[in-house]
Amino acid sequence: MERLATYLGYLIDLETSQVETISSTEVEKQTGINAAQFRKDLSYFGEFGKPGVGYNVVDLQNRIARILKIDRDQPVIVLGAGNLGSALVGYPGLREQRFHIVGVFDANEQKIGRRVWELTVRDIRHLREVNAQLMARIAIIAVPASAAQAVAEEAIAAGARALLNFAPIILKVPDRIVVRNVSFLQELAVLSYHLSTDTRK
């Protein structure tokens, strides 16, 4: 699924550049993913492309979007209206990929009622009743580590089935819930390590 998402982002860029067809060799050059792996990934979902011609960029983009279930708007809620949460609400790339931020919630009374881009911050205590109307199944958790577990549990109780977690904590959730963790500190630590082992002059 991660590789499919990589292909999709690349195809969107190609369409923007008005490129009509692409070969698996060109995909490898631009994404770093082996051409044979690219063809194998697609083969799981049917037949794609034409021998000697390649892959039609728009057609392949649409088919991968359908596989990833983002060929239609996917409502998303953001839990946490701090700097990170507010930045995510305003990030135009989400809407371009058909992820539609439909609600932002916080527990801080000083933030509740304020505008974050086009949305008004709502009280997280009302998350269940509000999301019964919004029907978002993806929740982005952008709160401090100390609050993340409780917020995740509230999101699940409100109907979320997939969590994108930016808090530096491992969430404990039921097996049916999908969690993806995004750790800036972890990634920076890895980069720091690579810098320390870089022998190039």
Question: Is the per-residue pLDDT at 66 higher than 90?
Answer: no
pLDDT of the residue at 160: 96
Confidence band for 200, pLDDT divided at 50, 70 and 90: low
Highest mean pLDDT (candidates 49-63, 126-140, 181-195) = 126-140
Are 4 and 64 in contact by the 8 Å Cβ rule? The answer is yes
The dihedrals phi and psi of 169, each to the nearest 5 degrees, come to: -155, 145
pLDDT greater at residue 166 or residue 98: 166
Enumerate the domain spans of the chain. Answer: 2-67, 74-186
Q: Which residues of 120-145 are buried (b: 16+ CB within 10 A; e: fewer)?
A: ebbebeebeebbeebebbbbbbbbee
- pTM (predicted TM-score): 0.74
**CATH architecture, domain defined by 2-67:** Orthogonal Bundle (1.10)
Among 89-98, 104-113, 161-170, the minimum mean pLDDT is found in: 89-98
pLDDT of res. 142: 96
> pLDDT category, 30, cuts 50, 70, 90?
confident
Kindly tell me the burial class for residue 113, based on how many C-beta atoms sit within 10 Å of its own C-beta (0-12, 13-18, 19 or more).
Answer: exposed
Answer with the residue of higher pLDDT: 31 or 152: 152
| pLDDT, mean of residues 44-51 | 76
- pLDDT > 60? residue 141: yes
The pLDDT score that the predictor gives to residue 13 is 82
Question: Taking a C-beta distance cutoff of 8 angstroms, is the pair 74, 138 a contact?
Answer: yes
Q: Determine the average pLDDT of the residues in 70-98.
A: 88
| CATH code linked to domain 74-186 | 3.40.50.720
Contact 121, 114 (CB under 8 A): yes
199 has a pLDDT exceeding 70: no
Binned at pLDDT 50, 70 and 90, residue 82 comes out as very high
